[in-house]
Amino acid sequence: MPFPWVLLNLALLLTLASVPGKAGPVNTCDANGSLYYVGEWYFLDSDHCTQCECTAEGAACARTECTALPPACIHVSHYPSDCCPRCERVGCEHRGQVYELGQHFQVGKAGTRVLGREAG
């Protein structure tokens, strides 16, 4: 079963790998030095961002599809162990100053603002 944060686009990236020397349906898939049974999911050791399912036709693999980051993301991190970037902070920038979501700040003489709405 795929992890909830991982979206797979099997329609675009489907690959079928047959077991060498075997014709027709297969009962196992050989990957990562292990045998997987039909219906089992696994990640490739050579690319931890590619998830596969062992099917009767062979391995069906797809690369992780990353979800879009929030438009107000002000700090993005990409960790080597992750396939997709992470949004670490949401907020905005005004005149070179970074403000967190919900933080109050002064905008000239127009009044105080709370990120995204006018406070008065």
Write the pLDDT tens digit of every residue in 44-97.
998 889 999 999 999 999 999 999 999 889 889 999 888 999 999 888 877 777
* Residue 102 near residue 119 (C-beta atoms within 8 A): no
* Residue 69 near residue 87 (C-beta atoms within 8 A): yes
Top-confidence residue, 4 or 33? 33
Domain residues of the chain, as ranges? Answer: 7-65, 73-118
Pairing of strands 86-94, 73-77: antiparallel
> What is the distance between the alpha carbons of residues 36 and 34, in angstroms, rounded to a whole number?
6
Question: What pLDDT sits at residue 8?
Answer: 36
Top-confidence residue, 36 or 104? 36
Q: Which of 49, 32, 51 is nearest to 85 (CA)?
A: 49
Which letter, b or e, does each residue of 14-47 get, where b requires 16 or more Cβ atoms within 10 Å of its Cβ? eeebeeeeeeeebeebebeeeebeeeeebbeeee
pTM, to two decimals: 0.50
* Residue 53 near residue 41 (C-beta atoms within 8 A): yes
